[in-house]
Amino acid sequence: MSDGSSDEELSPDWIPYCRRKDWVDVTPLEQDDGENPVVVIAYSEKFKDVYDYLRAIIANEEKSERALELTKDALSLNTANYTVWQYRRDILKALNSDLSEELDYVERVIKDNPKNYQVWHHRRVIVEWMDDPSRELELTEAVLQMDAKNYHAWQHRQWAIKAYDLFDDELQYVDRLISEDLRNNSAWNQRYFVLNHFGFTTEVLQREVHYAMNRIRIVKNNESVWNFLRGLLKQGEKTLDQFPEVVEFVEELYNCGNRSPYLIAFLIDLYEEKSLRPEESNREDYSNKVFDLCKAMANEHDVIRKKYWEYLAERLKRRLTCMNNNDEQDNESNNGTEENMST
């Protein structure tokens, strides 16, 4: 429990600090809530006992083995307490403690509290002190087996990989996660993270585009892989139609009756790009496709964002009007120049 508010935490062999002979030299320091506290939290007896002694230890700046054990008891009652973690680090450093044992302890805490930011931060500091990331990939993999989308585990994993150049086998690991769950957005994000490190060469883009399309063929209504595909296509030439096979693929999906909102959104952006290219001979056809697809999204496939799709259609109309006006001005200017030259 986070606040130790239940006496159920009192184990049969628990001895309060106020009854321990080796703590008689310490005067517990009670929490000061002021004269008229608005809300008084009903802490358990164990919680009050532990934190009263912890406050006294911190006030006296005691850094000892018994103080280290006291922080462990305090953290068992409130794992998210930043002050306790910081003071524990101060003690570890002062005692020149065995940091391998600390990693063992932190691993146990993380597995019981996998979404607690403070314990992950403590882990990172200890790894940095040791300059040894050899256990981090295994730990994060174990945590991700419990919850494949745990943000803290992914953040820690990315930090370790980037800080200590552990990229080599990460694509294989991510591929396994994606195979287990095609909708694992965290795994797709990790794949992009690794690819970005090595660089988006033409060969890599070609390979990954086909990887994404093959996954879309399996689950077409999967936002994660559509976002991944978009991210790839914004590399290289930075256009959605830089690979003809992608255009053929998405148009074939649509023509076969698929109406995934992610597919249609992709087509809208694709056709908008084409309709805004001055050199494109079929600009009007592509713009009409955008208007039709935006209308379909607004009224059928993504009604909750109706206003957004209507906005996209109106924005394209304004852009096209502006382009046409500029074209007319250029034509008038060219005609005037020709007349002056003939005169």
CA dihedral 62, 65, 70, 72 (to 10 degrees): 130
Catalytic residue among 93, 115, 162, 317: 115
Q: Give every CB contact of residue 35 below 8 A, 6+ residues apart in sequence.
A: none
Contact by Cβ (8 Å): 190, 149: no
User: Which tokens go with 74?
Assistant: 């305090």
Sign, CA torsion 138/143/145/149? negative
| Known active-site residue 48 | no
Place of tokens 């005609």: 335
Q: Give every CB contact of residue 215 below 8 A, 6+ residues apart in sequence.
A: 178, 182, 222, 225
Please spell the DSSP secondary structure of 122-158, one letter per residue.
Answer: HHHHHHHHHT--TTHHHHHHHHHHH-TT-HHHHHHHH
Half-sphere exposure of 295 (CA within 13 A, CB side): 6
Please spell the DSSP secondary structure of 94-123, one letter per residue.
Answer: HHT--HHHHHHHHHHHHHHSTT-HHHHHHH
Strand ranges (E), the chain: none
Which helix (H) or strand (E) is 7 found in, with range?
A: none
Task: Round to whole Å and give the CA distance between 115 and 213.
Answer: 33
Task: Round to whole Å and give the CA distance between 271 and 337.
Answer: 35
Known catalytic residues are 115
